[in-house]
Amino acid sequence: MNLHKEGYRIIAWSFLIIMAFNLLLHQYVEIYWLKWSLTMLSMILFMLIVYFFRFPARYVLTQPDEVVAPVDGKVVVIEEVFEPEFFKDKRLQISIFMSPLNVHATRYPVSGKVIYSKYYKGKHLVAWHPKSSELNERTTIVVDNPVIGPVLFRQIAGAVARRIENYSVVGKEVEQGADAGFIKFGSRVDVFLPLGTEVYVIMGDKTRGGETIIAKCPKLKN
């Protein structure tokens, strides 16, 4: 199983703490069933931490005007909205909610050049709250694709998520499906696409980041 680089330090520290805990446990606790129950619980906890930071290889062959899901999760929003931060006009919003059991790596939905990348400190409303896209801790990234134009996606922290890692740097050329960052524990990602986009998913659909094609956008006019 491939692990995301954001997990290396946490996994190493977790291993050391759990090992120290078990050494003390077996040295000072004499009740047999309690000692081994706590040992098993600590090992399960460690396996869950490792599982959370998994980073499976993903690849899908797309057309130049198709958009892939940036994360694993469930589609919770498909609607036309006014996007006030970058476009300042109406866009089609597709939002994907990630539970703590989903892969939490974020991938680029399209290829192109990063033209905008900004972090906002904010609240920690539950990730499916309608206002979480505007009020929660978040990052906004815009990738300018030569075929369909700029695509905005937003990493949003949830009630549990407390840290967002964003690898996007303005001017950087990025590839669709490549590693764009990581959100630690339960969260959501919004994607903003041009009006007239053909949507390939419906509410409640499960997505796989970097693999599920969620939409086909209108091509730029020459």
Active site residues: 187
- Secondary structure string (H, E, C) spanning 24-69: HHHHHCCCHHHHHHHHHHHHHHHHHHHHHCECCCCCCCCCCCEEEC
Rounded CA-CA distance 60/9 in Å is 30
Q: How far is Cα 139 from Cα 141, in angstroms, rounded to an integer?
A: 7
Cα–chain center distance at 37: 34
Q: Which residue has tokens 């694993």?
A: 72
Nearest to 73 by CA among 193, 174, 190: 190
Residue 222 neighbours by CB under 8 Å, 6+ apart: none
- d(CA 124, CA 137) in angstroms, rounded, equals 7
| Rounded Cα distance, 203 and 183, in Å | 22
CA torsion angle 66 87 152 148 (round to 10)? 20
Q: What is the largest CA-CA distance in the chain?
A: 77
